[in-house]
Chain A
Amino acid sequence: MSLIEIKDLKVHYPIRTGFWNRITDSVRAVDGITFNIEAGETYGLVGESGSGKSTTGKSVVGLEKVTSGSILYKGQDITKADNRRKLDYNRDVQMIFQDSLSSLNPRKRIEDIIAEPLRNFEHLSKDDEKLRVLQLLDIVGLDADALYKYPHQFSGGQRQRIGVARAVATNPKLIIADEPVSALDLSVQAQVLNFMKKIQREFGISYLFISHDLGVVRHMCNNIAIMNRGRLVEIGTRDDIYNHPLHIYTKRLLAAIPETNVNQREAHRASRLAVEKVYQEQQSKYYDDDGEAYPLVQITKTHAVALPQALAQQLATQEGEVQA
């Protein structure tokens, strides 16, 4: 059984218009997505901004009101607040936020910030609690003298590591990492990502890793879901997505990864433009009449793509020939 099973999750926001402020339409931020997160793995959720990936993450952690669909954890639907409370759900599922500064209360000392989940879920004695906080700081590579300081006294990378320490404090099973490094510069990104990997190895945590940076996702994730306009367009292992992409949106995302090889600059540019041309000309083939993604069809055991059955098969065989 998977750790978390997300089934046909929908989050719609109402649009109110007119004199009576009636609901006339809705923004479909997340529109029927289904995937499972296994214990101990890192699941990547990738997409452009506004594609609904953060909303998905917030729904999983219980911050967003879900319109329909279910998220199963230990066989219980945790979209209901009652079930979350009964399970002590947030003891097992925590979150790392994108903006490290605003996710730490500027008026609280680091000790109080990291101890907050401990105080709510574990009720340790004062000394045990302080010891646990010191150990957590040690695990994320910060000194003990951080204990009584305030968040603004740290650099961005240090703050994000404090965020990681807080998320790990109750020894959770799943951590939602909502673009945890996109606000950091590259050297610090690597540092924070490596700490996250180290913690994963040591504590056996699963991550739902939300990002738009495909380079980072390749470094971190075993399984990847590509999201576009509130729906999943492609699901697969790292190999499926990076080496055998089928949906045009996935190809576009991959083409957008900057290449460091300057000698082949022209070739890269040409392939990028070719993908863009296909996207412009064949949109109707890849999206349905309303401009939305099709339901997913299974290609291999791990690989699924949101295309009509016939087209998906055709592309899959083409892809196979190219490889051969």
Chain B
Amino acid sequence: MAENFEQHSDISAADLARLSQEAQAEATPSTAKIIWSEFKADRPAMVALFIIVGFIAFVMVGALFINTPKMMETNIMAYFNQPFTPEFWLGADSGGRSVAKQLIVGSRNSIGIAIGLTIVSSTFGICWGLISGYFNGYIDWGMQRVYDFMMMLPMTMMIIVLVTIIPHYNSVTLTFIFSIFYWEGTSRLIRSRTLAESEKDYVAASRTSGTSHWKIIFREIMPNISSLIIVDCTLSFAENIGVETGLSYLGFGLPSQTPSLGTMISNANDPNNITQYWWTWLPAALEIIILCLAISYVGQVLRRAADASQRQGAAD
């Protein structure tokens, strides 16, 4: 059978190296290159990227050098110490604990939970949506009823209840508790696009080419909805920072001796702190705003890179 092709084409094994080199020269740039040129074309996004990467790296490394239990000890001598002093860069809170150090450890905790939550819930939501949308029929019907049931549960109430009945919870268990409830939006979004995508001819072509269902779902359809997935992941990452902070602010997130952005913002519960001791809550609030803005900038660039018609970067 190979002879059959040899007969009707002038190309033989001898030409292989030369031709693939020629093809390489004409090749379309790789995805990483496209994303990079897109960042170069958009300066604010470039700044945002450096802020995010730099900040996350800083808090992850910085938190290693801070002895958290010692930091969280009450020091009555430093009660609401003023900021911008050599010992307390960002002042101290009512327990005399350094706001700057709490900010570093707290950011590490909050961002860690947000990253973990985004990874776990998005992975699950994407798989659920893809499978449900692709197979359609009875499988879709069953999976969507599970989805409807989960949507019906009051999310915040359930999380608060679960948090109170689990005796020893830490950031890992908290991440999983959140993940139980945060995959749903993603899954519906992905399902609706998958329904449309799996009707297209290239899916039929893959099936007639003998490709298995799972390969079609994850290698054919998923890359084609990647722009949606990227945008959804970045947005839900920004949102997930808010989830943990919101719950910690209410007092149901991380335990109080573990600093997080939420526990720091909850300092603003006290009118005294809002008016006089602004340094106890303002840095954490600013950090969340800047981080979420920066993430959405980066998300926009990734979305443009994923969609050829929206690109602003140089062609090659």
Q: List A residues at the B interface (Cβ < 8 Å).
A: 58, 61-63, 88, 90-91, 93-95, 97-99, 102-109, 116-117, 120-121, 127-128, 130-132, 134-136, 138-139, 144-150, 152-153, 163, 166, 171, 202-203
A116→B186 CA distance, assembly (Å): 30
What would be 11 A-B contacts, judged by CB atoms less than 8 Å apart? Answer: A62-B208, A94-B209, A95-B205, A103-B202, A103-B205, A117-B210, A127-B13, A128-B2, A144-B23, A148-B27, A166-B209
B15 contacts which chain A residues (CB < 8 A)? 134
The dominant DSSP class at the B interface is: helix
Interface pair B204/A97, CB less than 8 Å apart: yes
A88: nearest residue on chain B (CB-CB)? B210
Contact A135 B27 (CB under 8 A): no
Tell me the nearest residue of chain A to B220, going by C-beta.
A105
- Chain B residues with CB under 8 Å of A153's CB are 28
Chain A residue at smallest Cβ distance from B221: A105
| Residue in A121, A131, A149 whose CB lies within 8 Å of B210 | A121
With CB as the reference atom, state the residue of chain A lying closest to B215: A120
The reply to whether A149 and B8 form a contact with Cβ atoms under 8 Å apart is no
The answer to whether A130 and B201 touch (CB under 8 A), given A90-B209, A148-B27, A148-B28, is no
Q: What A residues does B4 contact at CB under 8 A?
A: 171, 203
Among residues of A, the one whose C-beta sits closest to the C-beta of B309 is: A152
**Assuming A134-B11, A144-B22, is B211 touching A116 (CB within 8 A)?**
yes
B27: chain A residues within 8 A (beta carbon): 147-149
Nearest first, the 4 closest Cβ-Cβ pairs linking A and B are: A148-B27, A145-B26, A147-B23, A120-B210
Q: Decide if B209 touches A127 in the complex (CB within 8 Å).
A: no
- Evaluate contact between B210 and A90: CB separation under 8 angstroms: yes
Any chain A CB within 8 A of the CB of B269? no
Interface residues of chain B, those whose CB is within 8 Å of chain A, are 1-2, 4-13, 15-16, 19-20, 22-28, 200-202, 204-211, 220, 223-224, 226, 308
Chain A residue nearest to B18 in the complex (CB): A144
Q: Is the interface of A mostly helix, strand, loop or mixed?
A: helix
List A contacts of B16 (CB < 8 A): 127, 130-131, 134
Contact A148 B224 (CB under 8 A): no
Give the chain B neighbours of A121 by CB distance below 8 A: 210
A116 to B210, CA, bound (A): 8
Cβ of A116: which chain B residues have Cβ within 8 Å of it? Answer: 206, 209, 211
Residues of A within 8 A of B226 (CB): 107
Contact A109 B209 (CB under 8 A): no
Evaluate contact between A171 and B210: CB separation under 8 angstroms. no
- Contact check, B204 vs A63: say whether CB atoms are below 8 A apart: yes
User: Other than the known A102-B201, A120-B209, A147-B20, what 19 A-B pairs have Cβ atoms closer than 8 Å?
Assistant: A62-B207, A88-B210, A102-B200, A104-B205, A105-B205, A105-B224, A106-B224, A116-B206, A117-B210, A120-B211, A132-B5, A134-B16, A135-B5, A144-B23, A145-B22, A148-B26, A148-B27, A153-B28, A203-B4
Q: Give bound CA distance, A135 to B202, whole Å.
A: 23
B8 contact set on A, CB distance < 8 A: 135, 139, 202-203
| Cβ–Cβ < 8 Å partners of B24 in chain A | 148
Nearest Cβ distance between residue A12 and chain B, in whole angstroms?
17
User: From residue B229, how far is it (CB to closest CB) to chain A in Å?
Assistant: 12
Chain A residues within an 8 Å CB radius of B23: 144-148
Alpha-carbon distance between A62 and B209 when the two chains are bound, in angstroms: 11
The verdict on A134 contacting B202 (CB below 8 Å), with A116-B209, A153-B28, A171-B1 known, is no
Which residues on B sit within 8 Å (CB–CB) of A120? 209-211
> What residues of chain A lie closer than 8 Å to B11, measured between beta carbons?
131, 134-135, 138, 144
What's the nearest-Cβ distance from chain A to residue B302, in Å? 15
**Interfacial chain A residues near B25, Cβ < 8 Å:** 145
Closest to A100 in B: B201
Q: What residues of A have a CB within 8 angstroms of the CB of B209 in the complex? A: 90, 94, 116-117, 120, 166
- Which residues of the other chain, A, contact B201 by a CB distance below 8 angstroms? 97-99, 102-103
B208 and A94 contacting across the interface, CB-CB below 8 Å: yes
B220 — which chain A residues lie within 8 A by C-beta? 105, 108
Hey, which chain B residues are within 8 Å of A107, CB to CB? Answer: 223-224, 226
